[in-house]
Copies of this chain bind each other. A is one copy, B any other.
């Protein structure tokens, strides 16, 4: 599989990588809107037209590793131990596919810069939310498959509730300018609230 990528494949990989690195560098230097696709293509020494055979849109290049993250998550769900509680399983999924730096060192390299970039460009926020939404639908299917005791609605509610709580909490933290340390704590709290339910929230005085 990886033993013989072939010259063609290797070259494609290199071009792809060059496009990603060039794009993120330009975005950081001049800003997202000020960077044209033509300029990105130039950094990888390919024609503008060629960019669009690697990525469907200018947005897409920012989320180059989403697919592998999803595959990782689906894998984890598929390896569920029979009898393992759904909540334990989902905690593992969150930990390993969201927080763990994924395979490519590229992802690690661009991590924080990318986060800031997305937060500052509405078009990228929109793209991210859309991707995350599709991911949730696929996680729902995987979960329903791996947990026969859950019907489709229950699986969807579980995924949506957990991911939704985390997503909004992270956004609220970023908006307030929290340190990553605090944000991590907040994510754990959000996870607990989703798992224990809104009934577990503090009662009015």
A: residues with CB less than 8 A from B are 82-87, 90, 122, 125-127, 129-130, 133, 136-137, 140, 147-150, 152-169, 171-173, 175-176, 186, 189-190, 193-205
Contact = CB atoms under 8 A, between A and B. Distances in A.
B173 A153 contact: yes
Copies of this chain assembled into the complex: 2
Contact of A194 (B126, B127, B198, B205): B198
A150 B149 CA distance: 33
A82 B201 CA distance: 16
Contacts of A140: 168, 172
A155 B195 CA distance: 15
Nearest to A189: B153
Contacts of A189: 153-154, 157
